[in-house]
Amino acid sequence: MARQDSLQGSLPVMVLKILGRRGPLHGYGITAQIESMSKDVLRVEEGSLYPALHRMEEAGWIKARWVTTENKRRARLYEITAAGRKQLEDEEVRWKLVTAAVGQVLQRA
């Protein structure tokens, strides 16, 4: 299982991607999405998601609001913003470049 530290860098881009695809989600929903899509490989200590979410919120990439869910619970829903989408594009490009580069190094070295 991956250690959370090594995942910190990639967490924002994953969150942005998920929010971009699935629309508004609360924290647990985002965790569940990451888990199911990465087939449990990328399991993080779940609490670490929140500081990341809040930093992204301060940066203006996502925005949040409190809602009351159908089972009468209050939940904080996160949603991607225009700035977030732009950030996601940039990050995806950079991610692809980096992974490609790392892949090449691993292949050729």
Partner 1 sequence: MSWLSRLRNAANSARLDRELREEMESHIENRAEALMGAGMSPEDAAREARKRMGNQLLYRESSREARLFPWLESLLQDVRFGSRMLRKSAGITMAAVLALGLAIGACTAAFSLIDALLLRPLPVTHPERLVALSYPSVMAGRPDGDSFSYPVFQRFRDASASVAYLFAVNYGPGRQVASFGGSEEENARMSWISGEAFGVLGIPPAQGRTLNAGDSQRRNPVAMLGYSFWQSRFGASPDVLGRWMTWNGRRFQIVGVTQKGFYGLDPGFLTDVWLPIENVARDAKDLANPEVYFLGVWGELKPGATPERLRQVLQPVFAGARMELRRSFERDGIPPAEMPRILNAGIKVESAKNGHANIVRLQFQHPLWILSIVAGLVLLIACSNLANLFVARADAREKEMAMRAAVGAGRARLMQQMLIECGLIAAAACAVGLAFAQTAAPALVDRLMPSTMPAYLDLQLNARVFLFVALAGLAATLVFGAIPALRASFASPDAALKSGGRSSARTRALRPLIAAQVGFSFVVLFVSGLLLVSFRNLMNVDLGFTKQGVILFGLDGRRLDDAGANRTAILTTLERIRQQPGVQAASMSNIELVAGPFAPLIRPMMRMPGQAGTERGPFYLKVAPGFFNTMQIRTLGGRDFTAADLAADASSVIVNQAFARKYFPDGDPLGRRFDRGDDNGWAPQQIVGVVADAKYNSLRETPSPTVYEPLRYVGGARLAVRTAESPAAIGPLLRQAVTQTNPAVRVSMMELESKKIENGILPERLLALLAGFFVLVAAALAAVGLYGVLSYLVVRQTKEIGIRMALGAQRGAVARMVLTDMALMIALGSALGLAAGLALARYVESMLFEVRPSDWTSAALPLAALAAIAVLAALGPLTRALRVDPGTALRCD
Give contact residues for partner 1 (rule: CB under 8 A): 26-28, 31-32, 45-48, 50-51, 54-55, 57-58, 66, 73-76
| Other Cβ atoms closer than 10 A to 29 | 16
CB of 86 or CB of 96, closer to partner 1: 86
8-state DSSP, 88: H
* Nearer of residues 67 and 102 to partner 1, judged by Cβ: 67
Backbone angles phi, psi at 96, to 5 degrees: -65, -45
Radius of gyration of the chain (CA): 15
Closest contact distance (angstroms) between CB of 103 and partner 1 is 31
Taking the complex as a whole, the smallest distance from the CB of residue 6 to partner 1 amounts, in Å, to: 16
Roughly what angle, to the nearest 10 degrees, separates helices 11-22 and 49-59? 70
- For residue 51, the minimal CB distance to partner 1 (Å) is 4
> What distance in Å separates the CA atoms of residue 37 and residue 41, rounded to the nearest whole number?
9
Of 22 and 76, the one with the shorter C-beta distance to partner 1 is 76
Q: CB-wise, 82 or 105, nearer to partner 1?
A: 82
Closest approach, Cβ 87 to partner 1, in A, equals 14
| Sheet hosting strand 25-26, strand order edge to edge | 25-26, 74-80, 62-68
